[in-house]
Structure 1
Amino acid sequence: MMQVDEKKLQEMIGKMLGDVGAAMGAALVLLGDKLGLYKTLASAGPLSSAELASRTGTAERYVREWAAGQAAAGYINYDPASARYSMSPEQALLLADENGPAFFPAMYEIAAAAVRDEPKVADAFRSGGGVGWHEHDACLFRGTERFFRPSYAAHLVSEWIPALEGVKEKLERGATVADVGCGHGASLILMAQAFPKSQFCGFDYHEPSILAARERAREAEVADRVKFERASAKDFPGSYDLVAFFDCLHDMGDPVGAGAHVKQALKPGGTWMVVEPFAGDRTEDNFNPIGRIFYAASTTICVPGSLSQEVGLGLGAQAGEARIREVLNAGGFSRVRLATATPFNLILEARP
């Protein structure tokens, strides 16, 4: 038997205890979000467990246990003198503000989908097959929208589009835009609100997402300029000044074929904006907290999704800039540059 280093063993136990606590606590975060506990505590706290239960229409005994667990995690605060719970501005920003820069309950929804769909992914591990996007638990679709929307709201119009050569000016004058793999339409609606002279079309193969996107557009009062239709990345119709892929190229079975179709769909002088998860080119470059999350999502969502489709390239969510460039080049785009980046995303500009 290998000799065990006791110090390293204790360090590993401590790390795994923390991870198990986070995994067990995921259900508590989902409950806090779903039942309005975070939002109520952020707006009306400090509150006792009884007061929080009364304001949210929940049972005090459950709320008491939930609040103690969240305080133990450091997600909310507890004052022993008053036996009341509260949230700091930082806690409230991350757990109660859906329009803030990072809304973490959405990430827990994605994590919940990964756990609920584990049997399907296990079967794919054994068979080498895939699990289509449409085959996942519904909380994945909601969580994805809520997770990406704050980042898009913070960066898309103010930073990413201005980083593309001449694109902002086209949109201000009036241009045609396609968002492929649009999901619930968050990115397209943001662009439509910012550029009222332009026309926008969103495409996704997932019909329930298209229906949700149409409803979002009506709620945002941009449905007259934003259309959503069911289509794949290799057959969407129309001709556009800008085609955008937001965090979806790596999910596609044939991203090279998708690129070839984008090339045909672009008007002369048009631009393909490809937004992908941030990643270094070497595997070890991504051994960090963000890489850990993205590799987990890639294992349970992205790679299975790609392998469920024709070609099944299986790029994965941590492909890195160099590999993405190879795919864009193979699709017929000879001019590719990194326009800008955030800790979560790479934004590439591609032209034929």
Structure 2
Amino acid sequence: MTTTDIGKADPAAAEELLGRLFGAALGAAELFTIHLGDAHGLYRAIAESGPITAKDLAERTGVDHRYLVEWLQSQAISGLLTIDGTEVWTDRFDLAPGVREALLEPTSPFYAGGLAAIVPAVGRAFPQIVDAFRTGAGVAYAAYGEEAVEAQEALNRPAYVNSLVTEWIPNVPGLHELLSKGARVADLGTGAGWSAIELAKAYQDVRVDGYDNDEDSINRARRNAAEQGVADRVAFDVRDITDVTADGTRYDLVTFFECLHDFAHPVEALVAARTALAPGGSVVVMDERADDVLTAPGDEVQRFLGAASAIWCTPQGRVDSDSDVVGAIMRPDKLRHLAGHAGFGQVDVLPIEHPFWRFYRLVP
């Protein structure tokens, strides 16, 4: 390093960055411990038993006692569990305030269990991601393992349960009335099916067809529909989104909930949606709330979207060699550009406020 280089050093900025990176490492480590607790049912066992010692929890769950003591200690230090003393081997542990809502109630608006599943999912696929950055290849969704499906399902379900019918639909002109009459709906990129299921639960005359190209997700969707009692009006099928019109069915409403930016061929997917519309039908898109223009550095939401785009959305969308995947930075102008190329004449940004998502209505 030259004297000039040393003179340009900024110790204060470096120290600030060091603190931020340590915080990121801490967060990642704690997410791993949270996923361990979820995988072994430890939080739920504590919730069901009330305050409990490590020995009793080990007997209740079948988890190794020595590892369990270490896990309990880490959770108490992190503030996710409380302890009624200072002896981790003999004192009793209980859930800290807020943990039940954040980690045990999958329909709570505060549920965040899906965040912990992201870490092992990316870890499983990471060697392929590293290689893809050299070769330009994609990384298949399946490479991220079952945790990827669990994470997607867990992160979006609370919003569908708590907001889809009560907040989002009323802000799409005429949509409540249309659904109340018994509309035919196609939910494209349906994943585990919760958006389709909540529509069917709220509107008794609606018929929903959910399509996704991931077999594991569709199997989960079918189980979820059966458990929720709507399997007679919600059907799920493994299908390429661009082939949704193959059987000639026409829909009053086509939806893309938090998925369009992941598609290898978003224009073709929108063309398929437009072609599938019945006369007077429209398309509703929920996608990432990226800033209108790049702001660097960005806030925490934009940082999350940027990172997710690099290690999750874009690699998965580049599995096709001729991919045009957008990634998580789906700005409004980009959505309008895609919709215009797909033949839509009108794109409205809907007046729905959400920290992570933006909503659009597309009309041919």
Q: TM-score, normalised to structure 2's length?
A: 0.90
Measure, in 2, the Cα distance between the counterparts of 1:264 and 1:8: 53
**Of the candidates 198, 210, 214, which is equivalent to residue 218 of structure 2?**
210
C-alpha contact 1:77 1:87 (8 A) present in aligned 2? yes
Counterpart residue number, 2:334? 323
Measure, in 1, the Cα distance between the counterparts of 2:11 and 2:126: 33
Q: What pairs with 1:160-179 in structure 2 (closer than 5 Å)?
A: 160-179=168-187
Amino acid at match of 2:210: G
Q: Secondary structure at the match of 1:99?
A: coil
Q: What displacement does 1:235 show?
A: 1.0
Counterpart residue number, 1:351? 363
**Of the candidates 200, 221, 231, which is equivalent to residue 192 of structure 1?**
200
Whether 1:273 aligns to 2:278 is no
Amino acid at match of 1:262: A
**Of the candidates 32, 52, 55, which is equivalent to residue 47 of structure 1?**
52
Question: CA-to-partner distance for each residue in 1:177-234, whole Å, 9 max, x for gaps?
Answer: 0001111111111111111101110111122322222122112121111111122221
Whether 1:136 aligns to 2:144 is yes
**Of the candidates 13, 38, 42, which is equivalent to residue 8 of structure 1?**
13
Q: What displacement does 1:175 show?
A: 0.6
C-alpha contact 2:250 2:278 (8 A) present in aligned 1? yes
Counterpart residue number, 1:232? 240
C-alpha contact 1:76 1:87 (8 A) present in aligned 2? yes
Q: What pairs with 1:259-298 in structure 2 (closer than 5 Å)?
A: 259-284=270-295, 287-298=298-309
Q: Secondary structure at the match of 1:179?
A: strand
Q: What pairs with 1:40-79 in structure 2 (closer than 5 Å)?
A: 40-79=45-84
Measure, in 1, the Cα distance between the counterparts of 2:18 and 2:82: 26
C-alpha contact 1:39 1:97 (8 A) present in aligned 2? no
Measure, in 1, the Cα distance between the counterparts of 2:103 and 2:272: 40
Counterpart residue number, 1:254? 265
Measure, in 2, the Cα distance between the counterparts of 1:73 and 1:12: 22
Amino acid at match of 1:314: V
Amino acid at match of 2:359: I
Closer/same/farther in 2, CA of residues 235 and 126 from structure 1, 3 Å limit: same
**Of the candidates 332, 335, 342, which is equivalent to residue 354 of structure 2?**
342
Q: Secondary structure at the match of 1:89?
A: coil
Q: What pairs with 1:59-138 in structure 2 (closer than 5 Å)?
A: 59-80=64-85, 83-138=91-146
Amino acid at match of 2:54: S
Q: What displacement does 1:81 show?
A: 5.9
Measure, in 2, the Cα distance between the counterparts of 1:5 and 1:79: 45
**Of the candidates 17, 30, 42, which is equivalent to residue 25 of structure 1?**
30
Measure, in 1, the Cα distance between the counterparts of 2:291 and 2:173: 24
Q: Secondary structure at the match of 2:192?
A: coil
Q: What displacement does 1:246 show?
A: 1.0
Amino acid at match of 1:193: K
| Runs of 5+ consecutive residues of structure 1 not aligned to the other structure | none
**Of the candidates 253, 259, 266, which is equivalent to residue 242 of structure 1?**
253
> 1-10 or 100-109, which moves further after superposition?
1-10
Q: What displacement does 1:43 show?
A: 4.3
Q: What displacement does 1:59 show?
A: 2.7
**Of the candidates 262, 283, 307, which is equivalent to residue 318 of structure 2?**
307
Measure, in 1, the Cα distance between the counterparts of 2:85 and 2:14: 35
Measure, in 2, the Cα distance between the counterparts of 1:12 and 1:130: 31
Q: What displacement does 1:55 show?
A: 3.2
Q: Secondary structure at the match of 1:80?
A: coil
> 100-109 or 41-50, which moves further after superposition?
41-50
Q: What displacement does 1:310 show?
A: 5.7
Question: CA-to-partner distance for each residue in 1:100-130, whole Å, 9 max, x for gaps?
Answer: 1132221111222112101111121111121
Q: What displacement does 1:68 show?
A: 1.3
C-alpha contact 1:252 1:309 (8 A) present in aligned 2? no
Counterpart residue number, 2:159? 151
Q: Secondary structure at the match of 2:235?
A: strand
Measure, in 2, the Cα distance between the counterparts of 1:266 and 1:13: 52
Amino acid at match of 2:93: Y
Amino acid at match of 2:181: R
Identity of aligned residues (%): 34
Measure, in 2, the Cα distance between the counterparts of 1:80 and 1:256: 60
Amino acid at match of 1:32: G
Q: What displacement does 1:286 show?
A: 7.5
Question: CA-to-partner distance for each residue in 1:274-296, whole Å, 9 max, x for gaps?
Answer: 01122112222772222222222
Amino acid at match of 2:330: A
C-alpha contact 1:325 1:336 (8 A) present in aligned 2? yes
Closer/same/farther in 2, CA of residues 293 and 143 from structure 1, 3 Å limit: same
